[in-house]
Structure formats: C-alpha cells, structure tokens
Structure 1
Amino acid sequence: MKITALEEYGLRCLMQLAQAQAEGNAGLSISEISKKEGLSIQYVSKITTHLRRQGIIGSVRGVHGGYRLAKKPQELKLSEIARALGDPMFDEEFCVDHAGKENACVHEKNCSVRSVWNVIHRHVNMIMNQITLQDLLQNEAETKEQLLKVVSG
C-alpha cells in the first residue's frame, strides 16, 4: 500500500484544522496552513479545494474566516478521509484493472490472490474505521498505544 502525497499532506492539513478548532479558532487560511505545514500556498490551495469538494471541509468568510472541518474531529474517521483523498486500496474493479492483455483475468474463476487482497483490505478498513481525526491529535506515544489496542481487538 502506497500513500500518495495528496493523502499524506491532505491528512496533515486536516490535522491543522482540527487542532485550530480545538483551540477555538473559527478557521485557518490557506497561508496559515501553508506556513504551519511547510507546503506551498498553491499546493495547500489544491488540497483544500479537493477536500471542500469532497465535503470534508468548508470555508468561512470574513475577517476571522478560513477553512474548517465540516464535522467534529471525533466524528471524522480516517477511512472517510482516505476515501476523500485517494482511491480505495482494493475495489470491485481490481481484477478488471489488472486483467493484462485479456478482458478478464485468467484466474477469474479461482483466484487465491483476490482473497489475500480482500482480507487485507477488510482489515485495513476495519482499523481505519476505528480511528478518528481527534485520535491523531494525541502525541505519538498515545496514538501508537491506541492503535495497538485497535489492532489487538
């Protein structure tokens, strides 16, 4: 599983917005997010436009305006963020997309590989459904401890 730049930086921008809301700020401007994350204003603009179109964030007009989360950080699951920022790791079209020269995979009727990807996908989604943006605002040690609890069941 490869994390794209959009997924990584998008999540980091969302964490900045969540932290700002936790501190009582109405929103953050693109330039504020850019400065806090060390990203170009153009790239943050691209990320915020994408996240706004996906309904993850909204914009607030005015002197103290900017971007803010569309939901509370504790209601925004990592799985929802991942879907908004990128393609699913494994979807219904996986076998069609990787069929090779044929229209259908030669292993379509009996594919043990498909089972592996399905199980991995199901477990990753299960974990990501249990982690919220609020959880990621903890320090690294607390986040790691919580993740270990989620994984161990």
Structure 2
Amino acid sequence: MFITRECDYAARVLRALSAETRLSVNEICEKESITAPFAYKILKKLQKAGIVKGYRGVHGGYAMNKSMTELTLFDVYSAIDPDLFIIECMASGYECPVDGRGDHLPCYMHRELCEIQQGVWKMLKRKNLQEVFAPEN
C-alpha cells in the first residue's frame, strides 16, 4: 500500500510533539497509541531526516527540529519511505519487462501512472502540517 501504517504513525508522532517542547518515547506512545518499538523506529527515521531532534539522558526525549509550517505530509512520508511510489515501476532504474521490447508496444499504463504519481505528490505537498492538524473551521 502506498501510505503505510508507519507513515501514518509518523504523522501522529509529529502531532504529539507539536504541542510540547519535548516528550519521551513513552509519552508519545501514550498520546498516540503507538507501541514503543514502532515509535523508536519512526523517530530514528525522522531524526535522520532532520525533522525531529533527540535528547539523551534522564531528561531526554524528542522535540521538533522544524516547525509545523515548514513540513508537509510529503516530507514526513518520504522521510519514512523514500520510495514513495504508487507502484514499483515508478522507481528509477526499474526495467519494465514489456515496455517497447520485442513485439510489445510502449507501456502507456506507465505514462498514465506517472501522471497520477505526480498528482499524489502535489496533493501531499499542498498544505503544511499546521494546516493539516489544525484546519480553520
């Protein structure tokens, strides 16, 4: 599936962190109903992407490293899953077994899916996380 549970939980982790200056993994898990091993895995990826900042020690935990207005769902999802494609043939380097080879015609389906892929990315980039988590009523 395109948007995995891990991607969804990453957005929820950021939602929890957005309201606080710093939270422990246990506090994040409690607020968002996520298991600790899953939260650690997600936070590691978010930290690697520079989205969150980790603190060690007794008063350690995690905090936002970027503001919610700087981030989109695309940023979050691609930090978790860099191969954010609707289908595997969208990935660079993928060699289609039928596209223009031998008696096969060019793969027009691929062209259509590329347009859909671009549309999905555009939609994920259209609002920042502040707008997603606290829309104006």
> Normalising to structure 2: TM-score of the pair?
0.80
What is the Cα deviation at residue 91 of structure 1? 2.8
Superposition map of 1:34-49 within 5 A: 34-49=29-44
Give the superposed CA RMSD.
2.1
Report matched runs for 1:100-115 at 5 Å.
105-108=97-100, 110-115=106-111
Larger deviation: 105-114 or 56-65?
56-65
Match of 2:128 in 1: 132
Q: Does 1:8 align with 2:5?
A: no
SS at match of 2:129: coil
Per-residue deviation, 1:92? 2.2
- C-alpha distance after superposition, 1:103-128 (max 9, x if no partner): xx222461111111111111111111
Tell me how far apart the structure 2 counterparts of residues 106 and 43 of structure 1 sit (CA, whole Å): 39
Identity of counterpart residues, as a percentage? 29
Instruction: For 2:16, give the aligned amino acid.
Output: Q
Per the alignment, residue 64 of structure 2 pairs with 69
Matched, 1:50 2:45: yes
Q: Hey, what does 1:27 align to over in structure 2? A: 22
Which has a greater percent of helix? Answer: 1
Of residues 28-37 and 83-92 in structure 1, the stretch that sits farther from structure 2 once superposed is 83-92
Q: In 1, distance between residues paired with 2:132 and 2:65?
A: 17
Q: Which runs of 5+ in 2 are unaligned?
A: none
Q: Shift in Å at residue 71 of structure 1?
A: 0.8
Amino acid at match of 1:127: M
**Alignment of 1:116 onto 2:112:** yes
Q: Secondary structure at the match of 1:110?
A: coil
Specify the code of the residue in structure 1 equivalent to 2:129.
Answer: L
Q: Distance in 2 between matches of 1:33 and 1:54?
A: 19
Tell me the SS of whatever aligns to 1:92.
Answer: coil
Q: 1:85 is matched with which residue: 80, 84, 92?
A: 80
> How far apart are the structure 1 equivalents of 2:91 and 2:74?
14
Distance 2:98 2:57 in 1: 58
